[in-house]
């Protein structure tokens, strides 16, 4: 029940921002010569305040410990025991219910190595660790240590060649995307009938109550900052309630998706004019009384009053923004709310600072309700994405691709007719003519609607590939007429191996069981391609429909590797007798197939994000560095070629 209320509170809408340290760790290395064949390789780590880097000796079932390994097999040297560590700290973790060992501020790890050949001039070490604050960031660094005589100076920092995996970069990019989308969502909220008319009223208050222009500008800035702080606080609360990782886990939870489907439908119906969602009037009265006191506290309560009064318009938009952020997890709710609140706060601040700009604002009128209705249609369309996620995870096939597209075509078709003035809703003003802007938007929406129609017959619809169910989750996986996609290969599969299936419409032979796929790869002498994926994974669908479909990539996947797709959100129960104890959470059993694959990915690769692609040999050794979401076709293809060529050389 507490979690249900927490999810509902998620939509009460105050957005939030917190600093996102891109690199909480800074590295330096040095080399100490012990003899012609023995060296100490030293890694010094500077850790930002409040972050913790976990020791090699952190207990099992807690935060991930540091692992130091050679960067290559048969590297020409061996590790002599584990690295020696500088001072560590211990603290009991309520999350893991264990005493954890970690570094604060600084860490020094000294790894002794022994060369197999004294003529070796350089060696490479891989440093894998986890650094945590409110969120956790995996670190996977490759360091090159130069062993030439003229560079071996005790305590001297040598130049380090570091190649960090693209996990952090892609995460930062996705947070920037979320920030921009949330900013536009805030701008949309600004143009609703609950918020837009408040601009001249608020600006007038500041200009009349302030003794001079400087004080008016100062008060306006305080007002804008207060709006941001309020919404940012909500983002912090949301992150604290669920934790940095729990939000991401909710993204594939059936109840999470069903609850948000219902909430978004309610929001959409409210925007369309059936009713208004309002907070208790007593809240507004009490806040107004506080605002009358003046000063900084009074200005803060004015901002709070604005949030309460405008809730019927901003609440659904804030809720939708937080839903998107919840799907991403981590500090995404904080970033989302900062972008949202910034878009709302800027106009109030700027117009108060420059009142003359008010003359350029359009007058309030029926167009504000039009904005609200358009947002209602968009909320309704988005709601079915969450219902589709639940259907995909449960594998019910109730909302297959054709049904989903039919619903979207109906929604956006109705929106087009509304913009053309053919449909009127309860709060609309009489429409004698339509403006050029409204006509233009109507034409765009109608074009989009027509674009989706061929999808009913199997068209890929790359513009919206992330939203509908995948093409194989369809009444006609290959499209009407059974046309197979692409020319990537001609491999025929008259009799499928045990446990295999053809992934439509790509016609890729694929396994969903690790052991069966590995056994088949050994039989046909091909490298193993592991695809850690999810039924409700948006980026997985983007990769499949925008990258896998390209002929040169498709040829490799069909002919040169054995694909094993492991769905981490597969809710089917493990067969009786195959339930196993969790290694990450001692005392708990893994009950679902997806839990088994999720734990495999977390333990072996120290990550739980999807998509995640691995190329490995028959000894289950990685052929090259695994990759995540890689939308660039050439980069992904080169990665495939690199791993396959290494397999063929052995």
pLDDT at 435: 85
Residue 320 pLDDT > 80: no
Least confident of 326-335, 394-403, 525-534: 326-335
Per-residue buried b or exposed e for 362-397, using 16+ beta carbons within 10 Å of the residue's own CB: eeeeebbbbbbbbbbbbbbbbbbbbbbbbbbbeeee
Instruction: Examine the pLDDT at 555 and tell me if it is beyond 70.
Output: yes
**Beta strand pairing status for 508-511 and 562-567?**
parallel
Contact 597, 567 (CB under 8 A): yes
pLDDT of residue 169: 46
Q: What pLDDT is attached to residue 397?
A: 81
Task: Indicate the range of 66-75, 234-243, 266-275, 384-393 predicted with least confidence.
Answer: 234-243
Fold of 25-132: Immunoglobulin-like (2.60.40)
What is the residue-wise DSSP string for 487-517? SS-----SSPPTTEEEETTTTEEEES-HHHH
Best-predicted range by mean pLDDT (11-20, 33-42, 639-648): 639-648
Using CA atoms, how far apart are residues 425 and 311, in angstroms rounded to an integer?
21
Q: What is the predicted pLDDT for the residue at 539?
A: 78
User: Does the structure show a pLDDT above 60 at 184?
Assistant: yes
* Residue of higher predicted confidence among 299 and 560: 560
Domain with CATH 3.40.30.10 in the chain: 500-649
pLDDT of residue 153: 33
pLDDT given for residue 356 in this prediction: 63
Q: How confident is the model at residue 409 (pLDDT cuts 50, 70, 90)?
A: very high
The pLDDT of residue 230 is above 80? no
In which region does residue 461 sit, left (phi positive, over 0), alpha (psi from -120 to 50) or beta (all else)? left
Higher pLDDT residue, 617 or 196?
A: 617
Can you state the angle between helices 551-559 and 633-649, rounded to 10 degrees?
30
**Residue 39, pLDDT above cutoff 80:** yes
Peptide bond into 81 cis (omega under 30): no
pLDDT of residue 281: 54
Q: Which tens digits make up the pLDDT trace of 570-620? A: 777 887 777 777 776 666 777 788 888 888 887 888 777 778 899 999 988
Identify the pLDDT of residue 15.
31
Higher pLDDT pick, 602 / 299: 602
pLDDT band at 17 (very low <50, low <70, confident <90, very high): very low
For all residues of the chain together, what is the average pLDDT? Answer: 74
- Indicate the pLDDT class of residue 309, thresholds 50, 70 and 90: low
| CA-based nearest residue to 415, from 266, 270, 268 | 268
Give the lowest-confidence range in 11-20, 47-56, 352-361: 11-20
Express as a percent the part of the chain with pLDDT over 70.
Answer: 68
Distances, alpha carbon 369 to alpha carbons 13, 65, 276, 311, 430, in Å: 21, 55, 13, 15, 12
Tell me: pLDDT of 85 over 70: yes
pLDDT at 86 over 60: yes
Instruction: Cite the residue boundaries of each domain of the chain with CATH code 2.60.40.1250.
Output: 25-132
CATH topology for the 500-649 domain: Glutaredoxin (3.40.30)
Residue 347 half-sphere exposure toward CB, CA atoms < 13 A: 22
Q: Select from 313, 270, 437 the least CA-distant residue to 367.
A: 437
CA distances from 307 to 29, 372, 456, 631 (A): 51, 17, 42, 39
Distances (CA, A) of 394 to 465, 534, 610, 633: 21, 12, 18, 31
DSSP state of 167: H
**Are 314 and 371 a contacting pair, CB within 8 Å?**
no
Distance CA 141, CA 429 (A): 61
Q: Is the pLDDT of residue 338 over 50?
A: yes
């Amino acid at each position: 029940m507490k979690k249900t209320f927490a999810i509902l509170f998620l939509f009460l809408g105050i957005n939030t921002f917190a600093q996102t340290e891109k690199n909480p760790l800074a590295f330096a290395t040095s080399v100490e010569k012990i003899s012609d064949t023995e060296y100490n390789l030293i890694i010094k780590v500077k850790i930002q305040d409040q972050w913790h880097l976990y020791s090699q000796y952190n207990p099992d079932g807690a935060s991930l410990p540091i692992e130091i390994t050679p960067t290559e097999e048969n590297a020409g040297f061996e590790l002599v025991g584990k690295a020696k560590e500088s001072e560590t700290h211990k603290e009991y973790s309520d999350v893991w219910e264990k005493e954890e060992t970690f570094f604060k501020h600084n860490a020094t790890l000294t790894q002794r190595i022994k060369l197999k050949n004294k003529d070796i001039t350089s060696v490479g070490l891989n440093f894998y660790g986890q650094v945590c604050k409110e969120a956790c960031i995996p670190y996977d660094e490759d360091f090159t240590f130069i062993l030439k005589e003229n560079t071996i100076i005790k305590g001297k920092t040598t130049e380090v060649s570091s190649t960090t995996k693209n996990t952090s970069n892609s995460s930062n990019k996705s947070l920037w995307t979320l920030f921009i989308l949330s900013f536009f969502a805030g701008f949309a909220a600004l143009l609703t009938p609950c918020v837009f008319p408040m601009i001249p009223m608020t600006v007038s208050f500041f200009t009349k109550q302030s003794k001079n222009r400087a004080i008016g500008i100062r008060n306006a800035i305080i007002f804008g900052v207060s709006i941001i702080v309020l919404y940012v606080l909500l983002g912090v609360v949301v992150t604290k309630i669920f934790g940095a990782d729990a939000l991401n886990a909710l993204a594939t939870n059936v109840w999470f998706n069903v609850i948000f489907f219902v909430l978004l439908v309610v929001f959409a119906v409210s925007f369309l004019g059936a009713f208004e969602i309002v907070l208790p009037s007593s809240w507004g009265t009490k806040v107004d009384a506080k605002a009358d006191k003046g000063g900084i506290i009074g200005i803060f309560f004015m901002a709070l009053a604005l949030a309460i009064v405008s809730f019927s318009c901003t609440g659904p938009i804030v809720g939708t923004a937080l839903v998107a952020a919840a799907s991403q997890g981590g500090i995404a709710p904080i970033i989302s709310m900062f972008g949202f609140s910034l878009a709302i706060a800027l106009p109030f601040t700027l117009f108060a600072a420059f009142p003359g700009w008010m003359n350029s604002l359009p007058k309030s009128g029926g167009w504000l309700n039009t904005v609200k209705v358009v947002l209602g249609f968009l909320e309704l369309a988005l709601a079915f994405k969450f219902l589709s996620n639940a259907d995909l995870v449960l594998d019910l096939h109730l909302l297959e691709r054709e049904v989903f597209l039919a619903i979207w075509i109906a929604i956006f078709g109705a929106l087009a007719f509304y913009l053309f003035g053919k449909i009127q809703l309860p709060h609309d003003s009489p429409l004698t003519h339509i403006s050029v802007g409204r006509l233009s938007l109507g034409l765009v929406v109608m074009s989009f609607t027509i674009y989706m129609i061929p999808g009913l017959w199997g068209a890929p619809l790359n513009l919206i590939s992330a939203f509908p169910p995948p093409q194989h989750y369809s009444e006609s996986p290959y499209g009407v007429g059974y046309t197979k996609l692409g020319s990537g290969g001609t491999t025929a599969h008259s009799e499928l191996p045990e446990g295999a299936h053809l992934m439509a419409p790509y016609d890729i032979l694929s396994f969903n069981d690790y052991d069966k796929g590995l056994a088949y790869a050994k039989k046909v002498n091909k490298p193993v391609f592991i695809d850690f994926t999810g039924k409700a994974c948006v980026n997985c669908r983007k990769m499949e429909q925008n990258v896998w479909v390209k002929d040169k990539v498709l040829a490799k996947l069909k002919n040169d590797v054995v694909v094993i797709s492991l769905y981490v959100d597969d809710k089917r129960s493990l067969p009786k007798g195959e339930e196993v104890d969790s290694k990450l959470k001692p005392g708990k059993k893994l009950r679902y197939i997806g839990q088994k694959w999720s734990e495999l990915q977390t333990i072996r690769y120290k990550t739980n994000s999807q998509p995640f692609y691995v190329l490995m040999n028959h000894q289950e050794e990685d052929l090259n560095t695994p990759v995540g979401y890689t939308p660039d076709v050439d980069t992904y293809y080169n990665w495939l070629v690199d791993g396959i060529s290494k397999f063929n050389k052995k």
